[in-house]
Amino acid sequence: MKSEQYKTYLDESELPRAWYNLRADMKEKPAPLLNPETHLPVTAEELEKVFCKECVKQELDDTTREIPIPQGVLDFYKMYRPSPLVRAYFLEKALGTPAKIYYKFEGNNTSGSHKLNSAIAQAYYAKEQGLTDVTTETGAGQWGTALSMASAFYGLKCHVYMVKCSYEQKPFRREVMRTYGGDVTPSPSMTTEVGRRINAEHPGTTGSLGCAISEAVEAASKLPNSRYLLGSVLNQVCLHQSVIGLEAKTAFDKLGVKPDVIIGCAGGGSNLVGLIAPFMGEKLRGEADYRFIAVEPSSCPSLTRGKYAYDYCDTGKVCPLQKMYTLGSSYIPSASHAGGLRYHGMSATLSALYDQKYIEARSITQTEVFEAATLFARVEGTLPAPESAHAIRAAMDEALRCKKEGREETILFGLTGTGYFDMYAYARYNDGEMSDYIPTDEEILKAHERLPKIKV
Amino acid sequence: MKSEQYKTYLDESELPRAWYNLRADMKEKPAPLLNPETHLPVTAEELEKVFCKECVKQELDDTTREIPIPQGVLDFYKMYRPSPLVRAYFLEKALGTPAKIYYKFEGNNTSGSHKLNSAIAQAYYAKEQGLTDVTTETGAGQWGTALSMASAFYGLKCHVYMVKCSYEQKPFRREVMRTYGGDVTPSPSMTTEVGRRINAEHPGTTGSLGCAISEAVEAASKLPNSRYLLGSVLNQVCLHQSVIGLEAKTAFDKLGVKPDVIIGCAGGGSNLVGLIAPFMGEKLRGEADYRFIAVEPSSCPSLTRGKYAYDYCDTGKVCPLQKMYTLGSSYIPSASHAGGLRYHGMSATLSALYDQKYIEARSITQTEVFEAATLFARVEGTLPAPESAHAIRAAMDEALRCKKEGREETILFGLTGTGYFDMYAYARYNDGEMSDYIPTDEEILKAHERLPKIKV
């Protein structure tokens, strides 16, 4: 063990200079986004009313394999990247497994997660387009923090709609955003039409990402020089997050190691698609084989219990329709401590890959998640975000399977962020007060029945 | 700028394998610790009643230049080290300075600071000695978190006395320690004799590091198989923290760069001594010259307004006497948001070096500190701890001096930690409610008058 390397950092000269667009290597592409009124494939012109021009271009491009990272983004990336690829020696020892466990750690920046990878790209394009304001939603608060940071850097004003249950559980998250000049409104709020409508229909609701998205989109449309930026789900976000996988792949190649299983948590799906992108590319091109596992919370099981169908991305039904694994945009998941995974749907790319059987999925309960988080914190030092701990749990389960089967497999998981703003959740766990709500089949069916009827 | 390197990480093979004991190169050594009852130099035997055996050996050794880092500590170090040496390009640009600014960033671990460097060493020695429990104090909470982490790793039970004002401002700090199995008591408490006495003498006190130390020492003496561990001030802690400076020096040597000015915040002084150690060694040996600046809060100005004298390290007067710059152990600093710098005295090594004019010192107000912290967060991405922001402020002031004088100096400062658990303080600043209490001369004199009368 003495001579082993714990962490692998790339030199700055080895950092990716282009994002990898996984869709370019997919034979069956994700289905196109649809206009929510006409149900026809959405045009660039329509999307540009909501999103930045360059982001729209990236959103619709499913053929260009490599998309250069602008120099302004590369410079910012260098402030907090490369992120380390870490060998979890102490976790392996604690589990007594013959498996080799690695994780790609994206939490060493003030946003506390991988979200900064896309925030800085989107803010850069917003600034280039001459915008003055941007709006967004945030669940756990990581994306809102990331976008506040990126906005401060480029001198943009950032307006964040934060899911109410997270807003209440994480008072200090708001202060970080405020320190970066962002303003934060709990969602659903009374400041937008859609917020007022949702509040009226669901009195006392703790909100959802779907609600917050609708509010942020409406707010952007009412500001004079603004667009809406989204932290997950979209193709453009998956594209920006490919920097995670590209770095990981380069590091593994340097080490001469090939992972067998690659695991990530999945809320909207962007971190997972980003992590697996170059490996999945090899699999799609028939150059190598890997197992991929998406891990989601039992309380919001989009892949494992959702339907592959066209659905609204937001509760207010103002965004384009996307074909995805979804619980239905009317589904409001129970309050949970993994706010970042509390989304009714899943990225179109990830959904298509899951539908095409390239990826496995599993769901786990909060208690299982926090058991894994606590063990990981104690043996590996880093206190993980509850979202990230979904991946830790699955990695541990895979490592224990290897132990049982006597296999020396190599496991890679994405440790997307730190839990420093999730101590309310840890307190509940430490106090033995964690609830493990699993929706009933009836609830799931009811939400499915309200999916839009689309003929494609 | 494009081709410049932002962050320098050492390879794991380049990490230090021995700590550097700066005292070995000092011609005039720091004065010996004294027994608080006899006022005679304290013996190893006496110290071993309070501290671990191996730590006592290190505490008293002022001649061995290099002390090997045990393999068990090296392995843990590899989990979160090397820490990066970062070039603050964006801060330089924001200030418009010709100076080159570098910082050594110690915040990328769950304790949030450099404190882990000594915690893991001390916990290792405690375990080797066969102890089951350890006790300590914590101000801002960084040391308590670090020691809880280290204790969890080695299976020790950790008892933390946390300064009351920090305990109240940082509810989530307690949860991190708890997640690592630590138990946390606000100090002064009613669980120790000394705590009850201090509460009686100063009703409503918000506590101080000096009080918390006394309580932790008493608690250790009453547990069957326990010792007290201290997070700063002591020689052994400065020794362990030399890993910061050693890494920084190696990185600068690789870059072919020599810093002109080296800056650190100073509460007990250990991070600063650790950062400057190898550079100061060169200066003491006449091999190179550097300027060194210690930065402390105006509310607790041990170096700039203290007296160089023998004093108690703790309010309860149970620890050995140390010759140091001190405000007097009876001095209770006003509540401040830099809890880690709220200590009446200063490390003996740092005090001796300051007395011998090898180091400059300056004090700054909270408002100046948070102005610097906010600017730094926005341009460099990382949200600093209030303690660390003292060094940022001084580095910025030096960079602005360089701008005025047209000098291209190279500035290095220690960014000791992150501020993720200091959002209450940031909120006060964001709300314009920061107080800048500076003690009057009368207050300072009054505390000096109560210094013990020692004939040496």
pLDDT at B335: 75
CB contact under 8 A, B110 and A430: no
Rounded mean pLDDT, B277-291: 98
Q: For residue A175, which residues of chain B lie inside 8 Å, CB to CB?
A: 423-424, 426-427, 430
Residue spans of beta strands (DSSP E) within B238-342: 261-265, 291-297, 307-312, 321-326
Tokens of A427: 């307190």
Q: For residue A79, which residues of chain B lie inside 8 Å, CB to CB?
A: 6, 86, 90, 380-381
| Residue A366 binned pLDDT confidence (cut-offs 50, 70, 90) | very high
Cβ-based neighbours of B407, under 8 Å, separated by 6 or more = B98, B99, B401
pLDDT tens, B69-114?
Answer: 999 999 999 999 999 999 999 999 999 999 999 999 999 999 999 9
Average pLDDT, chain B: 95
Closest CA to A248 of A71, A98, A64, A86: A86
On whether any CB of chain B is under 8 Å from the CB of A153, the answer is: yes
- Please state, in angstroms and rounded to a whole number, the distance separating the CA atoms of residues B389 and B140: 14
pLDDT tens, B242-277?
Answer: 999 999 999 999 999 999 999 999 999 999 999 999
CB contact under 8 A, B153 and A381: yes
Tokens of B185: 């008591």
Q: How many CB atoms lie within 10 A of CB B26?
A: 18
- Please state, in angstroms and rounded to a whole number, the distance separating the CA atoms of residues A329 and A141: 21
8-state DSSP, B63: S
- Please state, in angstroms and rounded to a whole number, the distance separating the CA atoms of residues A350 and A270: 8
- Please state, in angstroms and rounded to a whole number, the distance separating the CA atoms of residues A54 and A179: 28
pLDDT at B3: 52
- Please state, in angstroms and rounded to a whole number, the distance separating the CA atoms of residues A128 and A124: 6
Q: How many CB atoms lie within 10 A of CB B212?
A: 33
In the chain, the amino acid numbered A1 is M
Report the range of poorest mean pLDDT among A5-9, B148-152, B376-380.
A5-9
Q: What percent of chain A has pLDDT over 90?
A: 89
Q: What percent of chain A has pLDDT over 70?
A: 99
- Please state, in angstroms and rounded to a whole number, the distance separating the CA atoms of residues A252 and B328: 56
Q: How many CB atoms lie within 10 A of CB B382?
A: 27
In the chain, the amino acid numbered B77 is Y
The per-residue DSSP string of B319-345 comes to SPEEEEEES-TT--PPP-S-GGG--SS
Beta strands A410-415; A100-105: pairing state: parallel
- Please state, in angstroms and rounded to a whole number, the distance separating the CA atoms of residues B371 and A250: 40
pLDDT at A1: 40
Tokens of B213: 């130390």
- Please state, in angstroms and rounded to a whole number, the distance separating the CA atoms of residues B389 and B370: 7
Closest CA to B32 of B323, B351, B350: B323
Report the range of poorest mean pLDDT among A20-34, A109-123, B317-331.
B317-331
- Please state, in angstroms and rounded to a whole number, the distance separating the CA atoms of residues B228 and B146: 15
Closest CA to B146 of B160, B132, B133: B160
| Closest CA in chain A for residue B87 | A79
In the chain, the amino acid numbered B22 is L
Q: Do B302 and B313 meet the contact criterion of CB atoms below 8 Å apart?
A: no
Q: Do A352 and A25 meet the contact criterion of CB atoms below 8 Å apart?
A: no
Residues A276, A279, A282: CA angle, nearest 5 degrees: 145
pLDDT tens, B345-362?
Answer: 999 999 999 999 999 999
Closest CA to B419 of A112, A167, A169: A112
- Please state, in angstroms and rounded to a whole number, the distance separating the CA atoms of residues B334 and B313: 18
Hey, which residues 356-395 in chain A have their CB within 8 Å of chain B? 374, 377-383
Asked whether the CA dihedral A63, A65, A71, A77 is positive or negative, the reply is positive
pLDDT tens, A317-358?
Answer: 888 999 999 999 888 787 778 878 888 999 999 999 999 999
The per-residue DSSP string of A67-101 comes to EEPPHHHHHHHHHH-SPPEEE-HHHHHHHT-SSEE
* B110 vs A75, A89, A383: nearest CB: A383
- Please state, in angstroms and rounded to a whole number, the distance separating the CA atoms of residues B293 and B414: 11
Residue spans of beta strands (DSSP E) within A119-260: 133-138, 157-163, 183-187, 226-228
Tokens of B34: 């004294």
CB contact under 8 A, A178 and B149: no
Q: Do A142 and A115 meet the contact criterion of CB atoms below 8 Å apart?
A: yes
Q: Do A7 and B12 meet the contact criterion of CB atoms below 8 Å apart?
A: yes
CB contact under 8 A, A378 and B152: yes
pLDDT at A3 over 60: no
Domains annotated for chain B, with CATH where assigned, are: 3-15+81-112+242-448 (3.40.50.1100)
Closest CA to A415 of A292, A274, A264: A264
| Closest CA in chain B for residue A88 | B79
Q: Do B170 and B424 meet the contact criterion of CB atoms below 8 Å apart?
A: yes
Q: Do B138 and B144 meet the contact criterion of CB atoms below 8 Å apart?
A: yes
Distance of CA B275 to CAs B9, B114, B240, B262, B278, Å? 16, 10, 11, 8, 8
pLDDT at A456: 60
- Please state, in angstroms and rounded to a whole number, the distance separating the CA atoms of residues A290 and A424: 37
* B383 vs A6, A176, A382: nearest CB: A176
Rounded mean pLDDT, A151-177: 93
CB contact under 8 A, B153 and A430: no
pLDDT tens, B358-392?
Answer: 999 999 999 999 999 999 999 999 999 999 999 99
Closest CA to A390 of A344, A443, A349, A342: A342
CB contact under 8 A, A426 and B379: no
Chain B closest-CA separation from residue A137 CA (Å): 21
